[in-house]
Structure 1
Amino acid sequence: MSSDLPNTAVPLGISDPVEKARAELKAALAAIEHKANLPKRAIVATDRATREAQAYARDNPAGAAAAAVAVAVTVGAVVWGIARLIAR
Structure 2
Amino acid sequence: MSSDQSRSGAPVPVPRTAVPLGITDPVTQARAELKAALHAIEVKANVPRRLGQATERRTQRARALAARNPAAAAVAAVALAAAVGAVVWGAVRLYVR
Q: Which runs of 5+ in 1 are unaligned?
A: none
Does residue 34 of structure 1 match 2:68?
A: no
- Matched-pair identity in %: 62
What is the TM-score with the length of structure 2 in the denominator?
Answer: 0.81
Please list the CA deviations of residues 28-75 of structure 1 after superposition, one character each: whole Å capped at 9, or x if unmatched: 111111111111111111111101110011101000000111111122
- 34, 38, 54: which is aligned to 1:45? 54
Q: Which runs of 5+ in 2 are unaligned?
A: 5-10
> What is the aligned length?
88
CA-atom RMSD in angstroms? 1.6
Q: Which runs of 4+ in 1 moved over 6 A?
A: none
What is the TM-score with the length of structure 1 in the denominator?
Answer: 0.89
Aligned residue type for 1:34: V
Q: Flag the structure with more relative contact order, 1 or 2, with Cα contacts below 8 A and sequence separation at least 6.
A: 1
Higher helix share: 1
Aligned residue type for 2:75: A
